Amino acid sequence: MINLIIGKKGSGKTKRLIEHANEAASKSAGNVVVIEKGGHLTYDISHDARLIDIDSYKVAGSEALGGFLCGVCAANYDITDIFVDSTLKIIGHDIPTLSAFLEKMSRLSDLADTKITLLISADASELPENIKKISTEV
């Protein structure tokens, strides 16, 4: 299952991501992974979740992020939730690329039986219908 948290900068997306991640970490019987760009979530995410700074691994672009997430799932079979902050900053601000990336992440989510939540910094009205059809929180 793929979930999106969509909104413009300053709309409270990161706060909602932190709340969802911490709730998942407290309830999960497996592992929760939070991917961030930069170290700004260090004190906000529960120590029960695995916090990964994607910049430490020099990951940029949709293919690299997709491969990284596949590797995370392959390395640990009991990941129940993955949260990705700043998705567009990591993959590039390209909506067609985002659409293709979401399709790949949907397949990964099904294969790994992992819920993936992506934070998208954009106005929902700017996104195509195929993205809006995904379970979203605006």
Query: Is residue 136 very low, low, confident or very high in pLDDT (cuts 50, 70, 90)?
Result: low
Query: Is residue 137 very low, low, confident or very high in pLDDT (cuts 50, 70, 90)?
Result: low
- Exposed, middle or buried: residue 49 (CB in 10 Å: 0-12, 13-18, 19+)? buried
Q: What is the pLDDT of residue 135?
A: 66
Q: pLDDT tens, 77-133? A: 999 999 999 999 999 988 889 999 999 999 999 999 999 999 999 888 888 888 877
The two beta strands, 135-137 and 2-7, are parallel
Q: pLDDT tens, 25-83? A: 999 999 999 999 998 999 999 999 999 999 999 999 999 999 999 999 999 999 999 99
Which residue shows structure tokens 């949907």? Answer: 106
* For residue 15, pLDDT beyond 70: yes
Domain extent, residue 20, equals: 2-137
CA 121 – CA 70 distance, rounded (Å): 23
CA 9 – CA 29 distance, rounded (Å): 33
Q: Domain containing 102 — which CATH number?
A: 3.40.50.300
Q: What is the pLDDT of residue 127?
A: 86
**What is the pTM (predicted TM-score) of this model?**
0.93
Domain count, the chain: 1
